[in-house]
Structure 1
Amino acid sequence: GWQGLIAYGCHSLVLIVDANTAQTLQVLERHKASVVKVKWAKENYHHNIGSPYSLRLASADVTGKIVVWDVATGTARCEIQEHAKPIQDMQWLWNQDASRDLLLAVHPPNYIVLWNADTGTKLWKKSYAENILSFSFDPFDPSHLALLTSEGIVFISDFSPSKAPASSGKKVYISSPHSSPSHNKLAAATGAKKALDKVKILISNEKPSAESVTLNDCLQLSYLPSKRNYMLLLYPREILILDLEVNQTVGVIAIERTGVPFLQVIPCFQRDGLFCLHENGCITLRVRRSNCSITGTPNEEPDPDPVQELIYDLRSQCDAIRVTKTVRPFSMVCCPVNENSAALIVSDGRVMIWELKSSISGRNVRNSSSSASPLYSPVSFCGIPVGAFQNKLPDLSLDNMIGQGTIAGEEQLKSSFLQEVHLKFLLTGLLSGLPLPPFAIRMCPPLTTKNIKQYEPILAVGTSNGSVLVFHLTSGLLHKELSIHSCEVKGIEWISLTGFISFATSTPNNLGLVRNELQLVDLPTGRSIAFRGERGNDEPAIEMIKVSHLKQYLAVVFKDKPLEIWDVRTCTLLREMSKNFPTVTALEWSPSHNLKSLRKKQLAAREAMARQTVASDTEVSSVESSVISLLQEAESKSELSQNISAREHFVFTGADGQVYHLTVEGNSVKDSARIPPDGSMGSITCIAWKGDILVLGDVDGNLNFWDLKARVSRGIPTHRSWVKKIRFAPGKGNQKLLAMYNDGAEIWDSKEVQMVSSLRSGRNVNFRILDVDWCTSDKVVLASDDGCIRVLDLSMKPSCFRMDEQDLIEPAWCPYLLVPRASLALKAFLLHQPWDERYSLDIINIDYPENENIKNLLQEQLNSLSNDIKKLLLDPNFTLLQRCLLVARLYGDESELHFWTIAAHYLHSLSQEKPAKATGTAILQEELVNPLDICYDILCENYYFQKFQLERVNLQEVKRSTYDHTRKCADQLLLLGQTDRAVQLLLETSSENAHYYCDSLKACLVTTVTSSGPSQSTIKLVATNMIANGKLAEGVQLLCLIDKAADACRYLQTYGEWNRAAWLAKVRLNSEECADVLKRWVDHLCSPQVNQKSKAILVLLSLGCFTKVAEMLHSMRYFDRAALFVEACLQYGAFELNDDTNILFLKSCFCICKLIHAVYADYARSLKLLCFKQGAILFASKAGETGKELLTELKQPKEEVAQE
């Protein structure tokens, strides 16, 4: 997501992971079935107190339910259900001017439904003829959408949030590349280039014959966000790039016969690149080769057969994973903000985070010899060209790592600081999931006043493959993985905060005997020793182990073998019971012991010795040797054996239900009492003992509560079958009891003998419980057969937590977790550095009267930024525009990122043109080495846009395969003014073709049209008549022939073809005429029925109408963006505020000053609302007369305090 977090579905849960620190931040539980799709909401809108930064996510499951989450609080905003089939695909609408809550979903088999994801309201529903598999929005036009269906592709061109598409779309069929004969030749020596010429048309309007299409094996369809009207189709062994203007393949990325097939592809926006995931878990990055080779010199002969297709070179790949039957890659995501990191989820629960790193190659640019054209470092950093010695962070984002590959070689060579770049993937984060169940779990000893300094809440999880995983429970992170056993771990008992004993048993042989493994593990070192030494081979299985209350003794219970009592501290066997010893069915150690009385005695002895030793100074020497050495010996012994051996007790039940009570002291084990069986109970399966309460559970689901002090017992039938485990909660006086059954668990209050809560498989949860334990005095931890471990409160209801309450091991940068006013105040704090002429990242130094907790949270966020980012933020040479762009990236704010990218580009261009104007040397647009990236399409400089369109039509021309394509190319060439080439194409029409006569005449017309004057008026008349009679395209073409492109644009706009008019203006008109056309488009975009003001602002920026942009931002109440933009404009001299005495000019100056003051005053007010006092004072003082009143109001309280 734009927020920098990764969401993924795991069974019926949704997990949220921070990509930077690889920590799980949230787990969302509400679905009852497996989650199949998760999608983060877009951030393509202006954020303020009313529309704050918030974590919104939609998740969909197999039963067709969609849940829209507020991730920070872990609550569901709404639930959506239409049908009971798995959701095939869903996406949030990217154009968020009208509403930022719209979600489009594919409900099988053939419905698309638009939902308001804030309220769960259905806006409209539309069905199609075929089954819909997935869809893709056109990133350049919100009204365009493509559906991938079971038969082909459906293009929708009238998509709108307000009503369902009227038409059923334009349907085209894909003849699968496998079925086309050319495919078999791909591996031949001629290579993909010749094969590509043979893959004539993949897309056609005719339905292919049955034998050519067995099944549409297209895995994915996606528009390219890096350039308009291109689409990719993903097949297991190739990726096809289609030019949608001519529905023709213009590029193929094919895998060799021995290569690993594709699973998924994510196209990039900032550069024309593709992240590809392969079946072996390898992620590759491919970047399109630039059209011009830098090695060629101008006087060389041009290549007679230049590369006439889009070629994507492999630039980097990460390591593959070991794929097995159960381990395979599932899916990949790419960071949409910076496009330089990808995360991979593997079926075993691993999440791997790979980051792209760039390194400067040592080779000289001029004699580079790599076969693929080299990649170069970009000219600019954060939108502004930088010198060689300026602070920059190349790995910030993809467009800061590699420059545009489309600049002519000569121009690149002129700029001396271009360096060749190599890319490589680095694994920067790894999150391991749990292995497959079953699990045995045990929480470490509880927190007490004595261990509070060294206590860590850790949980040991024994797994089926013999390893024990130790998790830090507050963060959910794996603390250690210890491979201890060779078979399934059956139980774990802690002997201290840093050590445990675990046991595992192998599968029985034909005599029913097993290999028992009992290991003592020291956690800090990871060292483990066989606790029972050589014992353990070919004996009955261990059933359970129990450590005594003081962690001195261990009881080991076997299936058909007498009980063993061991000393934990020395690993020695104290006693193996005799053969006739009763079979143990349940056992528990008593919480009572004589340690306190022993300690008192020891203390008294010490004091006596001390009194003896300090009799008198002279006596000291004589007594010293004997007594003190004795004392020291006793001390060291007691320290060795953790003080002294205290007496401890345990009870167990035999098969007959009789309760036995035994005492262990030092190395003696004594039988002390027996209690006859309770007739109302079946065979006892477990015992729990705390204080004076003893509880027994049996095979029939009865619980028997004994009050040892009052000598009363009370039996409760739970009707839940076999009681598998019972455990008391930790904490003095806490008498809560956790009971586990075959079909769930319950919590009881043993004081009141009342059930507190219950969990039942199949009724309120759909998993089965495998093991339970208490993790704190009021929280339980459950292991379940869906492979999850859950921590629940006493109600045992699945509950999500608030993310800001979580205790993370490593702080994570995520301003979305702050309360709205705090996240916006933090943004202002970063943007308006320096404060009081000091660059600082300490919020304490700022006049910000906010409560301390919030201030501490802000400081934590600032501290969690990487050192590289901090260095940039504190750099005085880092300009305001660069700072705005960096903060937009840090906040993952899509709307800001596009705005500041374009603003920075055109304000910088203006600053370069100004000195040239002053000296009278005009700078041509072509001379700027660093044009705006083509992904901004219509917003690019005209010359660069024209160049791109010409390259595109060249490629279309080479790929022609039918008359239709040739005609489209000729039409496009005429509009671009390339008349000679258009004539050649028109004359190619064969004499059998119905259009032969027409095309021949058109060719004659095109060649003669420029010669005579009167012909122009005739052509204009014909053109206007054609347009009036519904032949818009033909009329526009004729107008372009006679250089009346401005009129053509006007007609296109009149007939609602706004995008086409803008395109034509960019490629055919001079800058003034073009600006007129685009300004009319701006007015259209701002109209209420279109409501695309954010797009209108970007168009105005590209035209250099900076004052108008400031006015619009202010009128839309984007006060923060307006204030920063005004500051930037003043820095770059974009507002004309001097050097003229012209009355009109003075009037406009006055208007601009008034606007500036209004912007600053309104921004100061909004900062005041955020409690950000220092920022408010700063802008109120800049707002002249307008801010005077506000300024006195802001400064007042201070004076009052002073008077008091």
Structure 2
Amino acid sequence: LPFASQLVSPRTITGSANVLNKGAIDWGYHGLMAYGSNSTIFVIDTRNVQIVQSLDLHKSIVKKILWVSCVETKSDGNPSIQLISGDASGHIVHWDITTATALSVLQDSNKPILGMEWVPGLENELMLAALHSPYFLVIWDIRKQTKLWKKSFTDTLLSFNFDPFNGSRIAFLCPDCILFVDDFQIGKIPSTNGRKFYISSPRLDSTSEDSLKGRDRLKRLMKGLVVGETRPKPDEAMTITECLQLTYHKSLRHHLLLLYPRDVILIDLHINQTIGIIPIERTMSPLIQVCTTRQRDVLYCLHESGSISVKIRRRNNNNITPSPIDSVADSPNIDMFVCYDHKCQSEMIRQMKGSKVLGLSVDPITEKHVGKFIKFISSAIITGEPSILTEVRRESHKCESPPNDNTASCGTFIKPGIPAKGERNMGSHRYGTYAHPFTPLSLFNFRLLPTSVLSNVNGQITIVKMCPPVTVKNVQHFLPILGVGTSTGFLYIYNLSDGTVYKELAIHSFPIRGLEWTGLKSVITFAYGDGAKVKNEVYMTDIWTGHSIPIRSEKTLENPISILKVSPLRKFFVIVIKEGPFEMWDLHTLTLLRTMSKKFPFVVALEWSPIHSVKSIQSKKKDTELGRDGMFIFLKLLSSVNSCNNILNHVIMIKKSCLLLGRPFVREHLVFSDTESKLYHFNVEEDGIKDGIKIPPESGVGMVTSIAFKANQIVQGDSDGSLSMWDLKARSSKQVNTNRGAIRYLRFAPGKTNLKLIILYADGLDIANLKQNTYEKISHLKWGRENGRIVDVDWANANYPVIATEDGWIRVLDISLTKSSSTIQQYQFKDVIRCPSLLPPKLLSKIHFLLCTQYWKLVPSYEVFTVKDGISEQDLPSKFFSCLDVNAQLKLLNLGSGFAGLNIAEKCLRVSRALGDWYGVDLWTVAIYYLEVAVAEKNSSKEQAVSMKSETPLDTCYDYLADPFSYQKLQLERVSVHEWKRGDYKHTQNVVEKLVLLGEMDRAVQLLLETDIDNPNYYSDAIKACLVATIQKTGAAQSTIKLVATNLIANGKIWEGVQLLCLIGKGLDGCRYLVSYGMWESAVWLAKSVLAPAETLEVMIKYADQL
């Protein structure tokens, strides 16, 4: 690639995460996923699994991450993509992803963040609820950067969750109970500390558990109630401390899920009882997280092993059907407990020792893709399943997008209506083709397969070395690649222009201790184990082919190698043995030129000189350097030779070949320092080493630890933190004390006249400029983070240093050492990011409009827009940043060949899904449904319309927006579960009340007559049963009952009066009374359950006005 497209920008390449990062992962509406790794946040493109951005401002462990709502970012003047993150020190940072800058930093205290959620209904206002340890709930106005209020509870809180159907309700998980707050308001602090509930469910011992199988065991486990306010007896209590997670069900109102290592409990909050339990098999790994979905009653369960299982609700008649509300409510005489079938499970991930599964997040738009966060093995795993959506979504068949044919296939999925591999690419597409809603789901095979992995380095980083710098000769094929050695003997080659792994090579069996580039395509590495005497491994490796040639393989146990340096002309290399003589080698022939005698001083620091080598080349005829292919022919020839005599013969032959190829015999120079800090200079030629000069140390100089040589400057760093600088041209010297302790490493930046020097210390680094023999500090970095010390440093280019930490992180910093990230426009990406939200908000709205309309064109265009469509020239194809290219994003949307034939509503639905507009998806899903209902009512009889509604209802997450027929059926089913679970008299009375309101008079009478004769309410229940059974709708009877109902309501017996009104068909009056008392939710429930459509509309209009 041309050099212009291989620019290096400040960026961070992720390493291993921290166990405390558990739960710091969130999948956004735009297809980007963010996760916190140590104190840094990474944003990845889930389509191509590449790092899009890194955010590095937190000083402590990132605990929680939350994407900003898509509605807010459409406002003018706001960044297009925003993120909220909270850390262990209580800081909350509001990020602009495109520029990697913090819009605001908020902090109430230094207590860790335990959870963050947007206040329901106020996402567009950026109202954030943050839970701080141990019991503080803080409400923030993110836009105004102010704290609205802070509530201190009396119980220790672990996590919390808003009710997705009612924003005034919050559930908190405590160490020994569950806490409910029912009066949450953004404008005032809750008046109470909430209502406590304890889990009461007898544990089965091993003996009884073996004797109880299947359904009987489930019923035994479900006998416990959620006991309010008082702690149950110890022998009855299921210890809540085992509870790992609390979350509201996203598709069913008033349902709560509690996650335990071996079970998931489903609680109905109307009756405060367990109505279902989802156990896992003994052979399966324990659970650590569960995610519910909105669009179907489906659970994604994350296991400790890293596998993901999918649980789908089973109907009581044991028939799996396309909708959870598609069958008539069952008789209460049969078991009504809620069961979930285990449909599929992903493969377990092979984990390294110490690895940990840290979190799971679900794609909020399709809910068929999940991201998994694992320590050590990978930062994130994207798991997709093309077939699972047939059960977790119901859509109009003609409105669905086709598969994304641009994604590589990862498996064959065969199902009705979808061709097998070879006919269509069934890869990890974001928007798949779903089954027809009437198709029995038992016909489908469900599978959950990993589709892509974002990996870390294998082991700890031990050394990094940047490839030779760009020159006029190599500019056309130059790649800014970084060699990274690890403790496991792996060599990683990173392309710093896009931050991806270019090559991964397993070379050594010991930790790599040193690495030197011998060109743009080959490296020399050495490795050894622990101990005083070791086996030194030295290999020369072609990074393109992976072919490695051993060097010094005949050596046995010896002192470890301390230094390996390759000369600037790639002619020689030096190997220094710790506390022993060094060896001079010919790089092209891999032959030993000379081994210094034992009397030779011990070398502690060494560097080659660039000065005379350059002059010697210029003084000779043009060098026709031997290419890398020719060199490796010689090296492979040598690798087949064993005896020393044969090696010498081959050396003579190779030298003659070098002469024929035009290679001159050159002279190079090196300098080194010994244990007494004396500086030595030697000349190196192909004939051997010639002694040079020896310079005694200046007074006060400690042991030299590193040497850097550039132009006329020689710099020595010692163990006392002093720099000794020699200007060879001016024949002057200077000493500077850095006052930062021992110097570990010195390195000049690339560039002929660039005299920037990087200095590595134990606690950080400095960058200085040494022009004109002066020491001018440019920047300073003190590395005090908890995520590992800096193990090595080098220059990524002439201005940006690159550092590596022992926990596997690589950071390219700017010259000020303050930034390790850049704007998205500065990055290079291996693949175009599929994220239309990166476009400016006004432009995105214009694209949305054009895709949904274009009715003024005879032939609409949906893949290419021009200036004629109102798109400005600067928003059209860009040479440098294709992510902001409108037409590139249009092609990645892949709306499908049938898109042009859809009507406007169907286009709006598909475009909303493609652009990640979940509010638009909800709006157009409901709109299309009722448009179809209206057409059906117009073209057919009313009975047929009702029948259609019963077969293809809206999903249960739409709740009050569902048609009355489906809503009533769902409520009847729920009352049947309540009736099956009734225990005491009070519970039975609640069931009777619901049955009367729903018009189930016979069942209500039966329950009233079941009242025990010793019960004080026996007589009133008997009279009530007679009233319900013999009610007459004559004028006089209705007047009397209405008068009684009015008096009851006036005296506070609201529901008793409403029941009487429903008995005489005055449900609308009952709704009006409920509204007058502020009971809006009950009024809407009653209207949807018993009123005619016209009357329901009246109540819903008032409810909408109230909202």
- Are 2:493 and 1:470 equivalent residues in the alignment? yes
Give the equivalent residue in structure 2 for 1:81: 107
Select 1:36's aligned residue among 63, 78, 94.
63
Q: 1:754 to 1:203 in 2, by over 3 A?
A: same
Give the equivalent residue in structure 1 for 2:522: 499
Q: Deviations over 1:416-466 (max 9, x none)?
A: x98932221222221112455352111111122221221111111111122
> Does the 8 Å CA contact 1:82/1:107 hold for their aligned counterparts?
no
**CA-CA distance at 1:211 after TM superposition:** 4.8
Q: Deviations over 1:542-573 (max 9, x none)?
A: 00111100111111111122111111122111
Select 1:543's aligned residue among 554, 558, 562.
562
**CA-CA distance at 1:306 after TM superposition:** 4.8
Give the equivalent residue in structure 2 for 1:381: 397
Helix, strand or coil for the counterpart of 2:986? helix
Structure 1: how far apart are the matches of 2:577 and 2:655? Answer: 37
With 973-982 and 110-119 compared, the bigger mean Cα shift is at 110-119
Give the equivalent residue in structure 1 for 2:978: 956
With 875-884 and 455-464 compared, the bigger mean Cα shift is at 875-884
> Does the 8 Å CA contact 1:1009/1:1016 hold for their aligned counterparts?
no
Q: Of Structure 1 and Structure 2, which has the larger fraction of its residues in helix? A: 1
Q: 1:207 to 1:253 in 2, by over 3 A?
A: same
Structure 1: how far apart are the matches of 2:184 and 2:293? Answer: 24
Select 2:698's aligned residue among 672, 678, 691.
678
Within a 5 Å distance, the mapping from 1:923-938 to structure 2 comes to 923-926=945-948, 929-938=951-960
Within a 5 Å distance, the mapping from 1:678-757 to structure 2 comes to 678-751=698-771, 752-757=774-779
Give the equivalent residue in structure 2 for 1:1182: none
Q: 1:547 to 1:642 in 2, by over 3 A?
A: farther
Alignment: residue pair count: 1023
Helix, strand or coil for the counterpart of 1:143? strand
**CA-CA distance at 1:859 after TM superposition:** 7.2
Q: Which amino acid aligns with 1:932?
A: L
Within a 5 Å distance, the mapping from 1:779-790 to structure 2 comes to 779-790=800-811
Structure 2: how far apart are the matches of 1:1027 and 1:488? Answer: 81
Give the equivalent residue in structure 2 for 1:486: 509
Select 1:347's aligned residue among 375, 394, 412.
375
Helix, strand or coil for the counterpart of 2:315? coil
- Are 2:473 and 1:450 equivalent residues in the alignment? yes
Structure 2: how far apart are the matches of 1:9 and 1:927? Answer: 45
Structure 2: how far apart are the matches of 1:505 and 1:792? Answer: 31
Structure 1: how far apart are the matches of 2:937 and 2:418? Answer: 24
Q: Which amino acid aligns with 2:670?
A: F
Q: 1:452 to 1:873 in 2, by over 3 A?
A: farther
Q: 1:635 to 1:908 in 2, by over 3 A?
A: farther
Give the equivalent residue in structure 2 for 1:1060: 1082
Report which structure shows greater RCO (CA 8 Å, sep ≥6). Answer: 2
- Are 2:453 and 1:433 equivalent residues in the alignment? no
Structure 2: how far apart are the matches of 1:863 and 1:464? Answer: 45
Q: 1:7 to 1:265 in 2, by over 3 A?
A: same
Q: Deviations over 1:199-222 (max 9, x none)?
A: 223301132124544553211111
Helix, strand or coil for the counterpart of 1:889? helix
Structure 2: how far apart are the matches of 1:111 and 1:399? Answer: 43
Q: 1:853 to 1:717 in 2, by over 3 A?
A: farther
Q: Which amino acid aligns with 2:471?
A: T
- Are 2:86 and 1:91 equivalent residues in the alignment? no
With 844-853 and 258-267 compared, the bigger mean Cα shift is at 844-853
Q: Which amino acid aligns with 2:354?
A: T
User: Which is greater in Rg?
Assistant: 1
Within a 5 Å distance, the mapping from 1:404-803 to structure 2 comes to 412=438, 420-508=443-531, 512-535=532-555, 537-594=556-613, 601-602=620-621, 637-638=657-658, 643-751=663-771, 752-762=774-784, 768-803=789-824
Q: 1:456 to 1:198 in 2, by over 3 A?
A: closer
Structure 2: how far apart are the matches of 1:230 and 1:389? Answer: 36
Q: Deviations over 1:357-416 (max 9, x none)?
A: 24599xxxxxxxxxxxx9599562375799979999998779964676xxxxxxx47xxx
Q: 1:773 to 1:399 in 2, by over 3 A?
A: closer
Give the equivalent residue in structure 1 for 2:308: 283
> Does the 8 Å CA contact 1:885/1:901 hold for their aligned counterparts?
yes
Note the residue ranges of structure 1 that are not aligned, 5 or more in a row: 362-373, 405-411, 607-632, 1086-1204
- Are 2:123 and 1:103 equivalent residues in the alignment? no
> Does the 8 Å CA contact 1:783/1:790 hold for their aligned counterparts?
yes
Helix, strand or coil for the counterpart of 2:471? coil
TM-score, structure 1 length as denominator?
0.80
Q: Deviations over 1:228-262 (max 9, x none)?
A: 11111111110011111111111110123333211
Q: Deviations over 1:117-148 (max 9, x none)?
A: 23331101112221111111111111121111
Structure 2: how far apart are the matches of 1:497 and 1:1067? Answer: 74
Select 1:65's aligned residue among 64, 86, 91.
91
Give the equivalent residue in structure 1 for 2:1018: 996
Give the equivalent residue in structure 1 for 2:989: 967
**CA-CA distance at 1:586 after TM superposition:** 1.2
Helix, strand or coil for the counterpart of 1:452? coil
Helix, strand or coil for the counterpart of 1:144? strand
> Does the 8 Å CA contact 1:729/1:735 hold for their aligned counterparts?
yes
Structure 2: how far apart are the matches of 1:994 and 1:853? Answer: 78
Structure 1: how far apart are the matches of 2:695 and 2:594? Answer: 23
**CA-CA distance at 1:310 after TM superposition:** 1.6
Select 1:227's aligned residue among 226, 232, 252.
252
Q: 1:276 to 1:464 in 2, by over 3 A?
A: same
Give the equivalent residue in structure 1 for 2:906: 882
Give the equivalent residue in structure 1 for 2:218: 195
Q: Which amino acid aligns with 1:784?
A: T
Q: Deviations over 1:917-951 (max 9, x none)?
A: 7xx99633546632211210110111111111111
Q: 1:1012 to 1:845 in 2, by over 3 A?
A: closer
Helix, strand or coil for the counterpart of 1:309? coil
TM-score, structure 2 length as denominator?
0.87
Select 2:851's aligned residue among 825, 830, 850.
830
Q: 1:294 to 1:287 in 2, by over 3 A?
A: closer
Give the equivalent residue in structure 2 for 1:1095: none
Helix, strand or coil for the counterpart of 1:556? strand
> Does the 8 Å CA contact 2:388/2:447 hold for their aligned counterparts?
no
Within a 5 Å distance, the mapping from 1:853-892 to structure 2 comes to 855-856=877-878, 869-870=893-894, 872=896, 875-892=899-916
Structure 2: how far apart are the matches of 1:875 and 1:639? Answer: 68
Structure 2: how far apart are the matches of 1:885 and 1:57? Answer: 26
Structure 2: how far apart are the matches of 1:560 and 1:491? Answer: 17
With 854-863 and 568-577 compared, the bigger mean Cα shift is at 854-863
With 792-801 and 193-202 compared, the bigger mean Cα shift is at 193-202
Give the equivalent residue in structure 1 for 2:363: 335
> Does the 8 Å CA contact 1:341/1:353 hold for their aligned counterparts?
no
Structure 1: how far apart are the matches of 2:378 and 2:662? Answer: 41
Select 2:81's aligned residue among 45, 49, 55.
55
Q: 1:155 to 1:461 in 2, by over 3 A?
A: same
Q: 1:528 to 1:862 in 2, by over 3 A?
A: farther
Q: 1:11 to 1:262 in 2, by over 3 A?
A: same
> Does the 8 Å CA contact 1:103/1:117 hold for their aligned counterparts?
yes
Helix, strand or coil for the counterpart of 1:83? coil
Give the equivalent residue in structure 2 for 1:1029: 1051
> Does the 8 Å CA contact 1:376/1:402 hold for their aligned counterparts?
no
Give the equivalent residue in structure 1 for 2:342: 314
> Does the 8 Å CA contact 2:534/2:557 hold for their aligned counterparts?
yes
Structure 2: how far apart are the matches of 1:92 and 1:816? Answer: 20
